[in-house]
Structure 1
């Protein structure tokens, strides 16, 4: 047994010889999804654009005016440009030509702060070498220094093919010198790269669609005014190839007009600006060590936008001409500035009143068409596919530029701009009103569905308005009080639910017993938001729940029982401050000589008080003023003793009533109190009553 155990745990079963090191571009071929996202059509298209983006970077640097993209019949892709061309001289450290270095080494290129590119779309020199690694064959021709220099690669390795196409015999020759194939004028520069995707890597059905290429080429031509991008597709069955050429001198302003789906409320606005930020990056020093260094960066912002009469939002965002379909920090700054400035201007122009809800991002973006572009060196993306910008400083700089320029437009006193700004602000306000109306409609429909899908208690007297904000549910003690409350309520927004006497004490009852109790079940059913852990406050059918019981000991007991139910099974209502206790008066003083006073109204004859102490203070005050009253002062035993006008005036009318908001400030302490007063343990409650008896004022007992 001992020998067997030793054999199982022998450490040499896993040693250094089991470790693998992927050299050069082997890692790319082993895990292509890490670099291009997938090996289907999307990944193949991404490879094509990695090569095109290198030519676009030349255009951004001002060194390229034309790019040609050719989709050949044999499945290969060729990209030509008239830029500076990849360097053909020898790089001292590696001993390789610039072309082989760029095409075979990851993270090699002119985009690491060397000054060759101030802003680039290709990411850190990964693109070209990744495409080379995933190609069965890749041919490069460079026009520089009076010659055309050529070299070929097979699956990422430099060498020679003995015939055209990827199926020809290949002889690897790393470090191969560039071949000078012909002479050209010394001023002629440019690059031509043609690659055949490796079908060992890509799926058989992976293909580049013409439509996606045309859309992206058109988009890029919009983003770089003066750049011509020509697309030629030779894969068609027709005799002549499909060709289309794009060139737009109007830039993103013209792009914004092209994207807009509707008639505009304002002319296309251009917001341009820049900002500086400091970024800490590792830099290789003279000793070969990576040293964290603070680098000063400049970020340029160029945005075109306009609002239309429609409702659709069309936004495009770019970083160094590379689309960021999932946004990023630049889009976050853009949207934040729009919402902030427009809200400020709406308040200033009184289109939004002080109590009105602020407009949201959805309101501001409705009908907006915008193109947001930023340019900066070495942008930080979230992933190699570059769909999200991660550079944090972009949010602040874009927000600052947009805030300044948009405020200038909205406050302009020029006649045309002033009218357009007003139209934009009114559209945003109308969008907000439509959103609020739609939300109210959804709430209305939800309440109607609740009514239709569940048999609500027949004794519920519902209100007409279904808006959650105003609606109130009065839980009324007794049928006699219900009759008066029906006449006293505002049926537009006040609903009534009568309960008979004291409900079940849920503190010492099971959930099943609580649900069997008709009064408890009716309350849960009418509120319509569930109970316990499944309680959903957003589904509650009423904005407020008001407990309306008599102003006596029994009324206080009923309120306590109701609050126990809410605390145990609908606690979010208490925590949100949506449960109230009505405060009915205890006394009514009828003045006898008030009519003699000049300007006195009939309703001035009655004064209501809410406690014995308040009654005594009020009588002394009236006596000092020389006013008399009818004896004895009326004392209300219950809500049913009031007529409808008195109940409305004192307890139900929002203009005159007093409500006591019920809060749970400390849930733990509240649970202890509820457990003490309403729980099963009798001894602690007896002790509490015995101690409290010494502090009781016998004169306050209502007998």
Structure 2
């Protein structure tokens, strides 16, 4: 066995450790890690803005692959750091765990608590330049892979220009003079190709998203993002003065049922901090009082999707942490208390299941931010807050404020609170009902079909990928469809007329509606937040309605139900609209030839067919058959035109991306929502474009 002794251990000095294990500091060496380097530099500038010393940050993605970040803050200190013998700039960019964010002397709250951000970026850069405007001068220092020195630039700074490292002494170059009152910092860095693969690039979309987010979180801060990498330079500017309230209104995916509530508060806690004793030069534990500021905005919407964004000192914490735990606990405590005190009006009894967190958070959009000195994150990437006492502070602030706001006796607030509590109770009942549906609506054998609605004509196949559920308008069409379908894989569910408009209805009304309840039960995957597309009993859901105005309205109501309560089915591309024909034209055969049957699907298609037959000198039977409903077809005609996979045409209903989702939300709310005025305006404005001949009245 080979020996393993102390001489085999390596001690990595300074920034060598960062270059040896970059993933430990920035998460990875792909685009995500490269993006994190930029966040570290931007966050240093944002810390200046948070402390009230800067109101403008500019980020430029340059054509040579470098990135420039500029701010008008105080500028990094350029004087010598006591006991170190180096300038503040060199200490910040070459020493791990160094900076102005320890001990609380320079920043009340900061995202860069570890003091490694700037030095890590420097270590992982082929070249990094720092310029500081301070004391009437522009100070400059350059680095190559973390080592300070001087580049021979000529006219153009570049990472590959000749470089001379400092050997004995290092110094800040005085590049020029500026006005006495002008201050700020400019950092330009070239990512090191030895660390980041050549194909790695920063995402403009991600940078714009982060800039917009930061502008919401720091009211009054202007962020300018400029991209000069390809073609004509592009530039976008972000500034929002409304803070987290504006952020919530921007994030909300659907129409609100409550106002946006703004909650602010604070709390203190004691923390043991390792502090440098100036007399002994050693770290000693000191009990320090910390203050945690809480700033929360939240609103409930009509839907069931939950959107919660959390931040610590404006650093995003996508995985959450103690502040989110406190927020959820305070939210649950307040709403359960209010529901308990209104139990009689809400018809909630002791037999009802307990209100769960997911019932309360259905339809919630919230932004949760906390600000505190030296927060404890789990890792340098700062995705999870670990400071324990924050949980209790946020719980108290949010819970107490919501009880006061929602418990107000003002009539307008009382009505709004009532709608919210009814929604939460309905979500609880919907969750219970959906679970029951899931349990009873798995594919049944022949002896168990009684658990499904009696009007369902199910198929025999249990292969979900091949099965199809036709939702058919009316019993008359059902009779024909039963004869036209292939019962091996095609199931039929008739609905009676126009179903409930779920865009307007409350969850409680939806659960009571027999037609809607039957559709949810037959699809068998639950509804709303509990919908599980993998549990759906059919591979395709096909809406088969008459080719007239009423049929279009029924199809729209069904699509509203599917979009609002079974959205994953739509997103998976498993929802279709059948396309039945409008006309049947029987062309008379010549001589002994049989007559030919043609189907057309629009007036234009019919006119084109008739002209073609006329050109060929052929006659056709009159009157031409015009189908006003599916029930007018016989089984063979319906199978051939609308149900047989080898001949039919289906229109797939899909949502391509998030933008399409937002547009769909707006259209459904405009056409099917409670607000009448916007719908009337839309109809009036579009009336001139309507062709009267197309209206089937």
State the TM-score, normalized to the length of structure 1. 0.62
Correspondence for 1:334: 327
Structure 2 residue matching 1:152: 3-state secondary structure: strand
Correspondence for 1:188: 182
Question: Does the 8 A contact of 1:321 with 1:373 survive in 2?
Answer: yes
Correspondence for 2:244: 252
Correspondence for 2:162: 169
Question: Does the 8 A contact of 2:256 with 2:302 survive in 1?
Answer: yes
Q: Deviations over 1:457-481 (max 9, x none)?
A: xxxxx99799xxxxxxxxxxxxxxx
Structure 2 residue matching 1:443: 3-state secondary structure: helix
The answer to whether 1:429 aligns with 2:425 is yes
Query: Is the alpha carbon distance of 1:465 and 1:345 closer, same or farther for their aligned partners in structure 2, counting shifts above 3 Å?
Result: farther
Structure 2 residue matching 1:225: 3-state secondary structure: coil
Correspondence for 1:493: none
For residues 104 and 290 of structure 2, the distance between their equivalents in structure 1, rounded to whole angstroms, comes to 13
Please report how far the alpha carbon of residue 204 of structure 1 lies from its aligned counterpart in structure 2 after TM superposition.
1.8
The answer to whether 1:93 aligns with 2:83 is yes
The answer to whether 1:47 aligns with 2:7 is no
For residues 9 and 424 of structure 2, the distance between their equivalents in structure 1, rounded to whole angstroms, comes to 61
The answer to whether 1:29 aligns with 2:19 is yes
Report matched runs for 1:512-591 at 5 Å: none
Structure 1 residue matching 2:273: 3-state secondary structure: strand
The answer to whether 1:281 aligns with 2:273 is yes
Structure 1 residue corresponding to 2:69, chosen from 71, 79, 83: 79
The answer to whether 1:243 aligns with 2:235 is yes
Report matched runs for 1:109-258 at 5 Å: 109-163=99-153, 164-173=157-166, 175-237=169-231, 240-258=232-250
Please report how far the alpha carbon of residue 80 of structure 1 lies from its aligned counterpart in structure 2 after TM superposition.
0.2
For residues 215 and 464 of structure 1, the distance between their equivalents in structure 2, rounded to whole angstroms, comes to 49
Report matched runs for 1:339-358 at 5 Å: 339-350=332-343, 351=346, 352-358=348-354
Please report how far the alpha carbon of residue 236 of structure 1 lies from its aligned counterpart in structure 2 after TM superposition.
2.1
Correspondence for 1:441: 437
Structure 2: gaps spanning 5 or more residues = 454-697
Structure 2 residue matching 1:99: 3-state secondary structure: helix
Correspondence for 2:689: none
For residues 432 and 131 of structure 2, the distance between their equivalents in structure 1, rounded to whole angstroms, comes to 62
Question: Does the 8 A contact of 1:347 with 1:354 survive in 2?
Answer: no
Structure 2 residue matching 1:218: 3-state secondary structure: helix
For residues 434 and 398 of structure 1, the distance between their equivalents in structure 2, rounded to whole angstroms, comes to 30
For residues 158 and 359 of structure 2, the distance between their equivalents in structure 1, rounded to whole angstroms, comes to 56
Question: Does the 8 A contact of 1:220 with 1:321 survive in 2?
Answer: yes
Question: Does the 8 A contact of 1:142 with 1:149 survive in 2?
Answer: yes
Please report how far the alpha carbon of residue 290 of structure 1 lies from its aligned counterpart in structure 2 after TM superposition.
1.9
* Higher gyration radius (CA): 1
The answer to whether 1:412 aligns with 2:408 is yes
Structure 1 residue matching 2:33: 3-state secondary structure: helix
The answer to whether 1:373 aligns with 2:374 is no
Correspondence for 2:285: 292
Correspondence for 2:59: 69
Structure 2 residue matching 1:119: 3-state secondary structure: coil
Please report how far the alpha carbon of residue 340 of structure 1 lies from its aligned counterpart in structure 2 after TM superposition.
1.7
For residues 395 and 128 of structure 2, the distance between their equivalents in structure 1, rounded to whole angstroms, comes to 43
For residues 124 and 146 of structure 2, the distance between their equivalents in structure 1, rounded to whole angstroms, comes to 7
Structure 2 residue matching 1:335: 3-state secondary structure: helix
Report matched runs for 1:624-663 at 5 Å: none
Structure 2 residue matching 1:407: 3-state secondary structure: helix
Please report how far the alpha carbon of residue 258 of structure 1 lies from its aligned counterpart in structure 2 after TM superposition.
0.4
For residues 229 and 419 of structure 1, the distance between their equivalents in structure 2, rounded to whole angstroms, comes to 40
Please report how far the alpha carbon of residue 15 of structure 1 lies from its aligned counterpart in structure 2 after TM superposition.
4.0
State the TM-score, normalized to the length of structure 2. 0.62
Q: Deviations over 1:580-613 (max 9, x none)?
A: xxxxxxxxxxxxxxxxxxxxxxxxxxxxxxxxxx
Please report how far the alpha carbon of residue 14 of structure 1 lies from its aligned counterpart in structure 2 after TM superposition.
4.1
Please report how far the alpha carbon of residue 246 of structure 1 lies from its aligned counterpart in structure 2 after TM superposition.
0.4
Question: Does the 8 A contact of 1:381 with 1:390 survive in 2?
Answer: yes
After the TM superposition, list the runs of 4 or more consecutive aligned residues in structure 1 that deviate by more than 2 angstroms: 13-19, 462-466
For residues 400 and 20 of structure 1, the distance between their equivalents in structure 2, rounded to whole angstroms, comes to 49
Structure 1: gaps spanning 5 or more residues = 1-7, 457-461, 467-703
Structure 2 residue matching 1:70: 3-state secondary structure: strand
Query: Is the alpha carbon distance of 1:464 and 1:41 closer, same or farther for their aligned partners in structure 2, counting shifts above 3 Å?
Result: closer
Structure 2 residue matching 1:180: 3-state secondary structure: strand
Correspondence for 2:600: none
Structure 2 residue matching 1:357: 3-state secondary structure: coil
For residues 441 and 231 of structure 1, the distance between their equivalents in structure 2, rounded to whole angstroms, comes to 50
